[in-house]
Structure 1
């Protein structure tokens, strides 16, 4: 007589099969993520190729963003990254022009998009530019960077929205204070931001930190005394998950959109501090923290944009020499800040 499975044997067999399936699923997910990360590396290298092509043509790197007048005087506790954001709500649209990403388009097989850009017009009037999804600016690990997740700059009037990207220019990890534009009673600022003029209403002032570009500010190879192989040019970022979350909007020359700034806490660190945080539903911020900051001059400012990724354990960065590295989340914070400086003396292993 043939002996059948006992109930215990059947349960053990089912358990073993379940464990094997779970292990197989983990292995498959690892392979898929490895493939996605490799594609992310490749896309970042394409950014680097465009960056160096731009340099060869212009003998300088692009600015982080470009702003025009009018504006308001700095100082009086005016946060510098707020200038990257906006000066006053009534003049923001008229002042924001291009940014690094727009200027790299002709060097990245996106000439047709760039041909629609008019440098004489404010960005908000150029929907045929900012609404275009650029494939090589996306990391496939970020499942929220999709065609139906564009940033809506207006809370009341919808349009095609701003397309998003997963790579942002390093403007510096400096503190949120001014080096040379402050009131006499302000505390010293040894590691802050530098302004080329203290009144944006009178002149088209520049603003820059320790990174590779600033507001209306460009740099050349000679500005990097330690060479190009140990300075981060671009950080990986995650895109916003709500239509009112500007993070990752590639055409916006804002901290937290196409620029990383004041993020000395390391990759996947603290909350981003950007305009509009208070309007985003909390459920969209649980895995992508965002904290509104209020100053005594405007309600919210773009002060801080961290490097983030969907890769387990770290982020991808593009170095100024065009190479790509994976940086662990637990990197020494001093080293992280150092490799984001133009005069970095540290070596990235």
Structure 2
């Protein structure tokens, strides 16, 4: 008998290395696609949350014939226990429009906590809060100093959060990614129709000249006030929450004269890393007052925005922290832009490159003349026109 030579088939070392290399290339191509798909899903969820808020606003308006009041709650509140100082300047209407929206975004249980007395026990200490609770500013500021906190301030409301934003937990409270729109101006953004927080005197003419958006402060508007059309007017805008990384959209810098030049803080940006600051924050720029810190609070950086600088530009305050007027534009963790909620309930994605006029021009303001005189069209192009509710600008471009 003759023997037949049989050859066993197999891979050579070179072939094996080639296969491994091909698999590596495929995995390298697949991972970004997976990440992009996940972000697309998060972005859609973010948009859906905004739509739910828009529906809540319309249901609120159907009930009360007004938009929810930004700057609401008791005008005078007694000190609560021994932990809360008698700061009279802050003892008035420091709750945001988000609080009034709670029953209309399926948060009835949380609304019951806010609108009724609440007993909180932590670490063996019990505190009894009256209806509407403590001032959110003090709750967030003092969270590391005291053992008891007003629970609603630290409750994350899913509807008020964008899944693309990774910010979570302390030192901030119940974060918010959606802010009411003050319009295309900033004057009296922190005082409303008064000269100061203590309401030393009224300043209605000055306030009315600047409060050109869907929402004001301590005042209420309705759909009938939006003469430019609900589909042409921004009602709310998206914003990032602070991660502690000195990002230009979340950690404000002191702009001093920003009321006359919105680009006042631009020189403090790191040129090689244009989404981060080169300078350190002011000593009074407390962590707890940064962007999106608490949905229940009325503070500028927490729950307000305006349409002066385009999306994802720097936040710049006239004061030393987020308690003052400034350029509080919309921002997001999405690529290339941010969501806005139009007054008709539609959610739009506004790109960073939207036509925004002359960013160095001062906003419309009481006592100014020419292009800045009260009632003038927005100096900030299409972007500014979308923020104003009754300036009669013609929207003739896609956005």
Do Structure 1 and Structure 2 share a fold, with TM-score over 0.5?
Answer: yes
Instruction: State the alpha-carbon separation in 1 of the partners of residues 190 and 166 from structure 2.
Output: 34
1:98 aligns with 2:95: yes
1:36 aligns with 2:42: yes
The corresponding residue for 1:251 is 296
How far residue 172 of structure 1 moved from its aligned partner, in angstroms, is 1.6
Q: CA, structure 1 residues 55+203, in 2 after alignment: closer, same or farther (shift >3 Å)?
A: farther
Instruction: State the alpha-carbon separation in 2 of the partners of residues 337 and 244 from structure 1.
Output: 29
8 Å CA contact 2:308–2:327 kept in 1: the answer is no
Q: Report matched runs for 1:315-330 at 5 Å.
A: 315-330=338-353
1:134 aligns with 2:140: no
Aligned residues: 282
Q: CA, structure 1 residues 169+134, in 2 after alignment: closer, same or farther (shift >3 Å)?
A: same
Q: CA, structure 1 residues 115+300, in 2 after alignment: closer, same or farther (shift >3 Å)?
A: closer
The corresponding residue for 1:82 is none
8 Å CA contact 1:101–1:251 kept in 2: the answer is yes
The corresponding residue for 2:395 is 346
Match of 2:12 among 5, 8, 30: 5
Mark the structure with the bigger radius of gyration: 2
Unaligned runs of 5+ in 1: 71-88, 152-161, 179-191, 275-292
The corresponding residue for 2:180 is 169
Match of 1:114 among 111, 116, 132: 111
Instruction: State the alpha-carbon separation in 1 of the partners of residues 295 and 21 from structure 2.
Output: 48
Q: Could you say what the CA RMSD is over the residues aligned between the two structures, in angstroms?
A: 3.2
Instruction: State the alpha-carbon separation in 1 of the partners of residues 163 and 199 from structure 2.
Output: 42
Q: Report matched runs for 1:124-273 at 5 Å.
A: 124=138, 127-144=150-167, 146=168, 148-151=169-172, 162-174=173-185, 176-177=186-187, 196-198=193-195, 201-202=199-200, 207=207, 209-242=211-244, 244-248=288-292, 249-261=294-306, 263-270=307-314, 272-273=315-316
The corresponding residue for 1:16 is 22
Q: CA, structure 1 residues 226+96, in 2 after alignment: closer, same or farther (shift >3 Å)?
A: closer
Q: CA, structure 1 residues 202+23, in 2 after alignment: closer, same or farther (shift >3 Å)?
A: same
How far residue 313 of structure 1 moved from its aligned partner, in angstroms, is 1.3
Superposition TM-score, scaled by structure 1 size: 0.71
1:202-239 C-alpha deviation (Å, 9 max, x unpaired) = 45766452211111111111211121011111111111
How far residue 324 of structure 1 moved from its aligned partner, in angstroms, is 0.8
Instruction: State the alpha-carbon separation in 1 of the partners of residues 327 and 73 from structure 2.
Output: 19
1:255-309 C-alpha deviation (Å, 9 max, x unpaired) = 1111113x51211112x235xxxxxxxxxxxxxxxxxx547xx997353322111
> Which structure carries more relative contact order (alpha carbon 8 Å, separation 6+)?
1
Instruction: State the alpha-carbon separation in 2 of the partners of residues 134 and 240 from structure 1.
Output: 17
Classify the secondary structure of the residue corresponding to 1:215.
coil
Match of 1:336 among 380, 383, 386: 383
Q: Report matched runs for 1:283-322 at 5 Å.
A: 293-294=318-319, 301-322=324-345
8 Å CA contact 2:299–2:322 kept in 1: the answer is no
How far residue 93 of structure 1 moved from its aligned partner, in angstroms, is 3.5
Superposition TM-score, scaled by structure 2 size: 0.62
8 Å CA contact 1:313–1:329 kept in 2: the answer is yes
How far residue 109 of structure 1 moved from its aligned partner, in angstroms, is 1.5
